Structure 1
Amino acid sequence: MRDDVVSPAGVEHAELVDTIIRAAFSDTAHGYQGEGALVRQLAADGDELVSVIHWRDGVAVGHAFFSRMDVEADGSPLAAAALAPVSVLPAFQGQGIGAGLIRAGLAILKDKGIDISFVLGHESYYPRFGYSPKLAARFASPFAGPHLMAMMLDSEADWPQGGRADYAPAFGRLG
């Protein structure tokens, strides 16, 4: 029987997280583009909201990171988080580990009072968690387009009519 556990990542896990991120992105179409450095910079800047690791039989096999965003909706600030990156070691991809990390992170964000989460990613993967390009399109963002998606963490909340969504400054310094 496998032992699968998702737990918060701490400062002591920084090198482990970097190893997971590098391995997960190195053989992708776009390759590794400094996602590990981004996570370290976001944490150093104080923009980390949630960082979780998936452990299988005591081995770290996946990681997800959510950072603070500056979002205004309908003229008022909205507590917001960006999901990036989600990383799973190649040998463990396709087993639901990334999905479990995303769901765990979203639950923690909701408990923290975060209202909305954004992700820049594959338009056929992230909608299964509730992310919508239609909601994100209501926000002015430097990342606007079909790959920018958003979701209200309270599924019963009304969608804002419009606003702006700015990622943490570290994203502007990426790559």
Structure 2
Amino acid sequence: MGPLIPEILSDQWNNIIAIITGMAFGFVLESSGFSSSRKLVGVFYGYDFAVLRVFFTAAVTASIGLLFMDYFGWIDMAALDGLPARVWPIIVGGLIMGLGFVTGGFCPGTCITAIGIGKLDGYMFFGGIILGVFVFSEMFPLFENFYNSSNLGDVTVPEYFNINPYWFTVGVSIIAIVAFYAVMLIQKRIKSVEY
């Protein structure tokens, strides 16, 4: 998390606000049931789509918010730093993380929430993260060439496909609405079968 208002708030206040924000985020995750591995993997098994709705809502809200602030000159989108788009390493990394998610029942953030309320599986998952980071760092020379392959540079999806970012965000919003409606129908069907 970067400094909120560097010209007004000191580094110490920015750190205090970051800690409070992190605690509030953890509280919201726990209150939403995201410290439960069963709730989190429900999206993979088709019985609970809260994760899909939350991630889609976060992506759409952040996109609209950033474009809104850019439009009014409150931030400069061109100055935002992104990670290089390494296509195949991202796909492989996503598959590995997805496998870890469905196997362990947590993502890195939600396992910390589970640890916060004393869940043993949260501790085990976090131990797996630490072990994975250690193994990856020790074996990095073996996959360094692959890690740096298919690098498209610091490019966004709208830039790569030459799409206006506003229209891209509208498209993602429409996909989110359709996905929300589809999962609502799926959940209604599942509930009717249960009873």
Compute the TM-score of the two structures, normalised by the length of structure 2: 0.23
Considering Cα pairs closer than 8 Å and 6+ residues apart, tell me whether 1 or 2 has the greater RCO: 2
Q: Which has the larger share of strand?
A: 1
Q: Which has the larger share of helix?
A: 2
